[in-house]
Amino acid sequence: MTSLDQMQRDLDALGRQGRRRALRPIAGVDFSSNDYLGLARAPALRDAASNALARGVALGSGGSRLLRGNDGEHIALEAEAAAHFGSQAALFVGSGYAANTLLLATLPQRGDLVLYDALIHASTHEGMRLGRAEFRAFAHNDPAAAQDAIAAWRKQGGTGHVWIAVESLYSMDGDRAPLAAFDALAQREGAMLLIDEAHATGVYGAQGRGLADGMDRQAHAIVIRTCGKALGCEGALILCAAPVREFLINRARGFIFSTAPSPLIAAVVRASLMLLSGGQARQDRLHRLIDHAGRAWSAIGIDPSGSAIQPVVLGDAGRAMDMAHALQQRGYDIRGIRPPSVPEGGARLRITLTLNITEQQVTDLAACLKDLL
């Protein structure tokens, strides 16, 4: 049997399990993107891109940041991001996935312990797999379980540093982490706290500073803020203490050996941060939509998540995919999520709320869901 034959057998097995993925064109009303503030197609960001091109900003960087790829737009963005979020330093990388992976692959050292929330993103798992430290999961959103894991590790002879990895808002359940409790735990234990703000940056906090607003300035905290969701762009910002930034520049293979992100995109992210600094109007509109949706979900027997991410857990993967297909046929872009992206028995519809939709469209979707359920 050739390698291609084995690949085809594996694909066929995924198909029989109802887990084979496929790429489809965009169609229907947007209830699946993470463009929470509706900035991805916003005229203000299009103008920012046009203006940047007009003043000669390059499309491509031409090399890694340590060679000739360290464009002035990258430097300006990092300075402005650090000022906006209140951190000592910032580092711009190609994606949130890259940020989580290079952080966990680089910072924890042999003899250290990484504790991670059981529902943490796949990119964190990839970083831990590439890294040198031991890693253990703790129960979702449970600081006491993390505390117990640290105590057990110390009792077993662990003497290194502890790293605690959480998300502030989880992408499949739409629930928030008790960040204050995790922060207190990190301070008690002398641990480093890694917070992925992918789904909270731009949506929460004064001027879109997220649920971790104020933690960026703490030396023991590293905050990842992706630019491809509410900011409407691409890439990710790592907000951290200055020595962490310098260590990553010197040791993170995922940074050192990657071509730098597009200077044009860096210029547009700068414009997006300026929009956040300019007021809360978009945030306020989104939260009114979340409140409206919460009432609509409650009326049909679905417990509202209270965030822009609303899961409808159906359990069976086949049922989730059939329901998603039925909704797509009715003009709604809603996707079914199956294991291994969620735990076994946790297949669901993942509905997201963005400023690309209206309250009436949410009301209509709720009526449609009621009929199908």
Let me know: does 225 contact 201? Beta carbons within 8 Å: yes
What's the CA dihedral at 95, 100, 106, 112 to 10 degrees? Answer: 180
Residue 47 designated active-site: no
- List 30, 71, 78, 167, catalytic entry: 167
Cα distance between residue 90 and residue 255, in whole Å = 13
The token duo for 133 is: 């430290």
Let me know: does 196 contact 121? Beta carbons within 8 Å: yes
Residue 292 designated active-site: no
Residue 51 designated active-site: no
Phi, psi of 116 (to 5 degrees): -135, 145
- List 173, 229, 307, 356, catalytic entry: 229
Residue 256, CA atoms < 13 Å, CB-side half-sphere: 11
DSSP-based three-state secondary structure for 368: helix
Residue 84 designated active-site: no
Cα distance between residue 212 and residue 190, in whole Å = 19
Residues 6+ apart with CB under 8 A from 211: 168, 169, 176, 177, 179, 197, 200, 204, 205
Cα distance between residue 123 and residue 201, in whole Å = 18
Cα distance between residue 13 and residue 284, in whole Å = 46
Compute the chain's Rg from CA coordinates: 21
Residue 34 designated active-site: yes
- List 34, 272, 307, 356, catalytic entry: 34
Let me know: does 216 contact 245? Beta carbons within 8 Å: no
- List 196, 216, 234, 333, catalytic entry: 196
Cα distance between residue 293 and residue 309, in whole Å = 11
- The DSSP call for residue 300 is T
Residue 74 designated active-site: no
- List 74, 100, 121, 123, catalytic entry: 121
- List 141, 168, 171, 258, catalytic entry: 171
Q: Residues 169-188, buried b or exposed e (16+ Cβ, 10 A)?
A: bbbbbbbbbebeebbebbee
Cα distance between residue 174 and residue 96, in whole Å = 18
Residue 220 designated active-site: no
The residues assigned a catalytic role are: 34, 121, 167, 171, 196, 199, 229
